[in-house]
Structure 1
Amino acid sequence: MKTIITLFYFYIELTRTIEGGLLYLDRNGPLSIYSEIGNLEKVIVKRPGYEVENLTPDTLKRLLFDDIPYLPAIQKEHDAFTDSMRKRGTEVLYLEQLLAETLENPAVRYKFLDQLITESKADLCCSRQTLTEYLSSFPVSEMVDKVMGGVRKSEISEERKTNLYELMEDHQPFYLDPMPNLYFTRDPACVIGNGISINTMAEPARKRESMFMDYIIKHHPMFKEDVPSWFDRTSRFSLEGGDQLILNEETIAIGVSARTTPQAIEELANNLFASRPSFTRIVAIEIPKSRAFMHLDTVFTMVDKDQFTIHPAIQGPDGRMRIYIIEPGEEKGKVMIQERHHLIDTLKEVLELGEVNLIPCGGGDEIASAREQWNDGSNTLAIAPGVVVTYNRNYVSNRCLREAGIEVIEVPSSELSRGRGGPRCMSMPIRRSPV
């Protein structure tokens, strides 16, 4: 009898009833993200490589950087970031290693290179065969570094150059552009429950990034079972991971931003609701569409069950905002949308909380909040309830977090911050413990 009772409670814990339907919460697969704050068990990062050294003043704007990081220093800072997570028991996986392991299969590697050259439009300026043969000449791990770091025209011998574009090296020095934004692994994909959203990136410089996670999810040995897909990178509408926050087992917050469109949010909602996972609502939060407020997580992150960071500039007079609660409609493929105007009241409603504390970036001071928001003062990475990783340069925001009872783990950030992204931006959680 004791065994039967135990099994019954185990069954109840792993299931959820929604509109009379029985739903299984799979926490045992390779992916399991049902919150922003559960103990961070496993995360994917990308250590900055020579792709940042292939930045030049002329390409900064096109490649979405404001300055050129110093490679040895940015690598040292990134190592300190990953060490801070390992010390708390997080398993850290590297994107470049996962991709190399995925491409050990020759057939997958050939398909990958063909798609990469097509999406890079490199075949418009160089022989597809020449570039394929050149990249294939390296061991797989070096080939991955080359793909991520960029391929210069000067690397390929003169006798293989057959057109004017190739010969005019000073016109555009790359066959394949470097991908310096890769260390922000948050954006190309987002784990939601036991599935994943492979995102359509908004900016041309980042379009190819989600291709890497697409291949890893479909072909890496770690993901032997089919992983549910909630959004596909071939969508016409852009959606980025910095705008996707998993608040709890039922609720996702998504920013309507310069990088994420309303159409993409509704597309994701329909896919989720049709598949009937545990998620029953999406809270769409409009934020100013500017580079300073790039994603929702640059102005709003969850640090504990009832505490959040916020940049006050996203709120209008009397705290008013445009917020929409999206839920399944009565007809298949239809959703219900309700408008709200106050963030605290909305969070209380959807998370069933009595109180919510918003911790202002820079303490709400006009100068400090603008300065620290530019350096990602609100972009915290929760590694456990009430425990966050932040940049050390945001000392006012960090003090406010500590005064609110949050444990703050600071990491060096002089070079990391040049890319306009913080600890949350630099991490793609794939497993968290239940809260």
Structure 2
Amino acid sequence: MNGIHVTSEIGKLKKVCLHRPGDELLNLPPDELERLLFDDVPYLEVAQQEHDRFAEILREQGVEVLYLEKLVAEAFAANPGARDEFLDQYLAEAGIHGQKMPAIVREYLNTFTDDLEFVKKTMAGVAKSEIDMPLASSATLDDLVSDHSDKQSDLIIDPMPNLYFTRDPFACVGNGVNLNRMYSVTRNRETLYGKYIFKYHPDYKGTPLWFRRDAPFHTEGGDVLNLTRTDLAVGISQRTQAAAIDLMAQNIFWKTEGCEIEKIFAFDIPASRAFMHLDTVFTQIDVDKFTIHPAIMGTLRVYEMTKGAVEGEVDIKEHTDSLEKILEYATGVDGIKLIPCGGGDPIAAAREQWNDGSNTLCVEPGTICVYQRNNVTNEVLYKEGLNLLVVPSAELSRGRGGPRCMSMPFQREDL
């Protein structure tokens, strides 16, 4: 079966999109980590080994693993001119300094004649040391000054080190996709790859877009959870604006055809790094079970959005209740159980939440991928009867994202 089909967080996973960490992690200058949204520099070789094991675990469960970089290369191969179109847009968004430098970088990138290697290189970024810089006689003053600027690194084009978190650039909802405008310039370029997959790839071209990357407001895929075939949860967070959810609701309810979503539940969560996305607060692991960040316990403000009676209207109703009650209402399941990261121990919870203890990927109801290093949380999950697929995580976790963050389901079986 081709195309996108995701109507829950827990239906049996059939196809998933990953990105194997690449040379972008080698282009992470320590003094630019904050700007590139990283806290540390992962050891690439070990990170790749861990990621390969993650993919292998999924295949052992019968999941077809797709790789973002390969999908983009296949889109280029299937459509003459798509690669040049992509490169025009990539260079325009790359933040290159100097008047002649874009043309020089274009010439360099076109030396990568293999489409897959070309895609990987655009992800890795470009350093000055890779380029034959123009002679003074042929350069503009802007080029020369840029070449000797006080910029902290040797980068001409920044890498995309966060790209192995494929959850965020787009989000699959039903048979369509939110192609996001992301929170930071650093990450927004990542959505280009999704654009060309859903525009040109033989299996995915023509996929309906419920949100577009040129929207005026920002949103990210980690804030989107498919609760049921008709109910969607979206976080109002550090990375997703309320105005973006307004626009999403307009598109889903009024401006696009084929979307079955009838209710959007907007969860108002604190705008902080600890609560970066909704899926760092809770993830569904079974029909009636969720892992949660214990700091979110208590009363929540949640807004229920539905299609209005008049064209273009969206009705909004506020709910103020416990997370259990809101999730029971939204999913239609009685007796929802919330399993806290760290098992209620505040020190363990803080430590393991830092390593995404409540960010899990459900492969089928009750079977979930977890990080090995979160042993306290994992022990609690074992005692709750969950089947844990344990992913090695010494280096992958340095990027501050868990198994759900590292995966974008393309197809799940309906519940």
- TM-score (ref. length: structure 1): 0.90
1:47–1:183: 8 Å Cα contact kept in structure 2? yes
1:107 alignment counterpart: 81
Distance of 2:363 and 2:301 partners within structure 1: 29
Structure 1 Cα separation of the partners of residues 394 and 343 of structure 2: 21
**Pair 1:297 & 2:258 matched:** no
The sequence identity of aligned pairs, in percent, is: 49
- Contact 1:323 / 1:343 at 8 angstroms: preserved in 2? no
Q: Structure 1: state its 5+ residue gaps.
A: 1-27
SS in 1 for 2:37: coil
CA RMSD of aligned residues (A): 1.5
Is the Cα contact below 8 Å between 1:126 and 1:175 reproduced in 2?
no
Q: Could you tell me which residue of structure 2 aligns to residue 335 of structure 1?
A: 314
Map of 1:253 onto structure 2 = 233
Identify the match of residue 128 of structure 2 among 136, 146, 153. 153
1-side partners of 2:191 and 2:291: how far apart?
28
Aligned to 1:52: 25
Q: Which moved more, 1:305-314 or 1:378-387?
A: 305-314
Residue equivalent to 1:269: 249
CA shift digits 1:290-315 (9 cap, x unpaired): 11211010110000111111111123
Residue in 2 that maps onto 1:133:
107
Q: TM-score, with normalisation over the residues of structure 2?
A: 0.94
TM-superposed CA distance for 1:279, in Å, is: 1.0
- Partner SS for 1:284: strand
CA deviation after TM superposition for structure 1 residue 166, in Å: 4.4
Letter in 1 for 2:89: Q
Counterparts of residues 23-42 of structure 1 (less than 5 Å): 29-42=2-15
Match for residue 312 of structure 1 among 282, 291, 294: 294
Change in CA separation of 1:344 and 1:126 when aligned onto 2, cut-off 3 Å: farther
- C-alpha displacement at 1:158, in angstroms? 2.9
SS state at 2:304 partner: strand
Q: Answer yes or no: is 1:375 the counterpart of 2:362.
A: no
SS at match of 1:292: helix
Contact 2:167 2:404 in 1 (8 A): yes
| Partner of residue 222, structure 1 | 203
- Give the C-alpha shift of residue 117 in structure 1: 0.7
Contact 1:98/1:220, CA 8 A, preserved across alignment: yes
Measure the CA separation in 2 of the matches of 1:79 and 1:422: 15
Q: Deviations over 1:83-127 (max 9, x none)?
A: 110000000011111111222344111111110011112264643
Structure 2: 5+ residue runs without aligned partners? none
Q: Matched residues in 1 for 2:372 and 2:260: separation?
A: 37
Tell me if 1:64 matches 2:37.
yes
Classify 1:127/1:314 alpha carbon distance in 2 versus 1 (closer, same or farther; 3 Å): same
Corresponding residue for residue 22 of structure 1: none
1:183 counterpart = 2:164? yes
CA deviations on 1:350-386 (whole Å, 9 max, x unpaired) are 2222211001111121111111110000000000011
2:364 matched residue in structure 1:
384
Question: What amino acid does structure 1 have at the position aligned with 2:382?
Answer: R
SS at match of 2:311: coil
Deviations 1:165-218 (A, max 9, x none): 443277341121111000000000011111111001001110100110011110
Superimposed CA distance per residue, residues 332-362 of structure 1 (whole angstroms, 9 cap, x where no aligned partner): 2111111112221111112222211001111
Q: Distance in 1 between matches of 2:134 and 2:173?
A: 49
Counterpart of 1:301 in structure 2: which amino acid? T
Any idea what SS the aligned residue of 2:93 has? Answer: helix
> Aligned equivalents of 2:280 and 2:71: distance in 1?
27
**CA separation of 1:152/1:279 partners in 2, compared to 1, >3 Å: closer, same or farther?**
same
Confirm or deny: 8 A CA contact 1:230 1:268 kept in the other structure: yes
